[in-house]
Structure 1
Amino acid sequence: MTKGYIATLLIFPLISLILNPTSAQPASAPGPAGPRNVTAILEKGGQFTTLLRLMKSTQEIDQINNQLNNSNSGVTIFAPTDNAFNSLPAGTLNSLTDQQKVSLLQFHVIPNYLSTANFQTVSNPLRTQAGNSANGEFPLNVTAAGQQVNISTGVVNATVDNAVYSDGQLAVYQVNQVLLPQSIFAAHSPAAAPAPAEAKKDKSKPTSESPASSDDVDTTSNSATGPAIDQGMRVAFVGLFCLFAWGFL
């Protein structure tokens, strides 16, 4: 009786293992997260159509995805909305060369991850994918005051409206202006009008108002006294002639 009971206890677990083999296997670890898709993130935002179109036409989106998925430093994107692009003067984008369009987009990309807290302590000017920021070509300065984050390029001043996406490796921030770099748009700004030339002063003295010179005064006085002197000399000569003639008589 005891042997049959023990056998029953041993048989039932064995039967359970045979009928349910997967229950004995440990749970598999979750696979690695798939590659981040910047296009999908911006499309989900719903107001970055122009930005996406430019990124695709210049292949900048491929460069961002490549850096994001093959680098540990992460990426930060300042994403202007469609309204921000629409507020640009007419023909602004069409006036740019292909290389300038690439530089414009790269100016919105920081080659490392920045959280909202990082904006409080970041060192300016920020280095963007566009290139050198030290010599005034692509300076990008970020300042934070409380919850407000301001961005200055030397051409425009923008603000960060909200965080579209952030996961510790990729950050996408919505901005209310297209960030225009100095190296491209300072040359596009209209030149200041030259100052009007000063009217040349007339160096010639007006004859009607200029005082008479001393030479003119002397000439006038001489011309006035000359006839009187000549008249006196004639009278004296006649007198002397009369006295001389009277002596002979």
Structure 2
Amino acid sequence: MKTSLFSFTLLLTLQYSLAQPPAQSPAPSGPTNITGILEKAGQFNTFLRLLKSTQEVDQINTQLNNSNQGVTLFAPPDNAFATLKSGTLNFLTDQQKVELVQFHVLPSFISIAQFQTVSNPLRTQAGNANNGQFPLNVTTSGTQVNVTTGVVDTTVANIIYTDGNLAIYQVNKVLLPLEIFGDPAPANAPKPQKGSSTRSSADSPSDDSSDDTSSATGLIKQAASFVVLAAIGIFYL
């Protein structure tokens, strides 16, 4: 009897096990996609259009999935672009638009805490930071991160995303690089052409002086004529 009960219990256990679906393994996580992250965050439509039109979004995603250095992205929201002077983006060349987007990208992962110890100027994808063309500097005050470009000053307003490989920070203003939006250098004074006079009008004799000299010469000639005529008259007398 006990053997029959045991056999019946074993049979039920086997039937239950076979009826259950096999356990599903966890789905592998897909590659990091900053487009999806910004779309989910909302209010970054203008920046997304720039990322796509310049194809920089593809470059960033490629670096994220093929490098262990990571990426840090400063993302201005739509209202930051709305404060720019009307037509600012339309007046940029295609190359300048690429540089503008690259200026918002750091080719390494930097956490909020690491901003306290980074060396300025930060290296961006736009490059040439040490030459003063695309300088990007940060300072910290407690937990606040201040960002300056030489044209605008702003702060990190929010952490949109971070995973140890990608960090996306919202900034209150569009980061305008000095190379594109800085004041142009003053033009140098033109050099005098070879052989041309460098004297100013103050150094040159005036027309009045020339007139005075001519008048004095005329008076002397008239006086000489009178003297000659007087001598002739005396001779005939």
Q: TM-score range by the shorter chain?
A: 0.7 to 0.9
Q: Secondary structure at the match of 1:20?
A: helix
Unaligned runs of at least 5 residues, structure 2? 189-200, 206-237
Which residue in the other structure is 2:117 paired with? 121
Match for residue 102 of structure 1 among 98, 104, 114: 98
Which residue in the other structure is 2:137 paired with? 141
Which residue in the other structure is 1:232 paired with? none
Which residue in the other structure is 1:40 paired with? 36
Of all paired residues, the percent bearing the same amino acid is 61
- Provide closer, same or farther for how the CA distance between residues 33 and 151 of structure 1 changes in structure 2, counting only shifts above 3 A: same
1:13 maps onto 2:10 in alignment: yes
- Provide closer, same or farther for how the CA distance between residues 24 and 175 of structure 1 changes in structure 2, counting only shifts above 3 A: closer
Which residue in the other structure is 2:171 paired with? 175
Q: Output the CA distance in 1 between the equivalents of 2:81 and 2:92.
A: 14
Q: Output the CA distance in 2 between the equivalents of 1:190 and 1:87.
A: 22
Q: Output the CA distance in 2 between the equivalents of 1:63 and 1:202.
A: 64
Shift of 1:190: 5.6
Shift of 1:79: 0.5
Shift of 1:22: 6.2
Amino acid across the alignment from 2:155: T
Match for residue 61 of structure 2 among 59, 65, 79: 65
Unaligned runs of at least 5 residues, structure 1? 195-199, 205-249
Q: Output the CA distance in 2 between the equivalents of 1:111 and 1:29.
A: 34
* TM value normalised by structure 1: 0.69
- Residues 39-48 or 101-110, more deviating: 39-48
Shift of 1:7: 4.2
- Provide closer, same or farther for how the CA distance between residues 23 and 148 of structure 1 changes in structure 2, counting only shifts above 3 A: same
Deviations 1:103-155 (A, max 9, x none): 11011011111111111111211111112311112211111111211011112
Q: Output the CA distance in 1 between the equivalents of 2:202 and 2:4.
A: 128
Q: 1:163, 1:173 within 8 Å by CA — same for their partners in 2? A: yes
Amino acid across the alignment from 1:17: L
Q: Output the CA distance in 2 between the equivalents of 1:23 and 1:170.
A: 40
Q: Output the CA distance in 1 between the equivalents of 2:21 and 2:42.
A: 47
Q: Secondary structure at the match of 1:17?
A: helix
- Provide closer, same or farther for how the CA distance between residues 129 and 22 of structure 1 changes in structure 2, counting only shifts above 3 A: farther
Stretches of 4+ aligned residues off by more than 3 angstroms:
22-25, 190-194, 200-204
CA RMSD, aligned part only?
A: 2.7
Matched residues, number: 195
Q: Output the CA distance in 1 between the equivalents of 2:174 and 2:90.
A: 15
Larger Rg: 1 or 2? 1
Q: Secondary structure at the match of 1:138?
A: coil
Q: Secondary structure at the match of 2:59?
A: helix
Amino acid across the alignment from 1:5: K
Amino acid across the alignment from 2:6: L
- Residues 97-106 or 152-161, more deviating: 152-161
Q: Output the CA distance in 1 between the equivalents of 2:143 and 2:47.
A: 25
Shift of 1:161: 0.8
Q: Secondary structure at the match of 1:67?
A: helix
1:164 maps onto 2:169 in alignment: no
- Provide closer, same or farther for how the CA distance between residues 32 and 98 of structure 1 changes in structure 2, counting only shifts above 3 A: same
Shift of 1:44: 2.2
Amino acid across the alignment from 1:145: S
Which residue in the other structure is 2:235 paired with? none
1:130 maps onto 2:114 in alignment: no
Which residue in the other structure is 2:47 paired with? 51
Q: Output the CA distance in 2 between the equivalents of 1:90 and 1:193.
A: 27
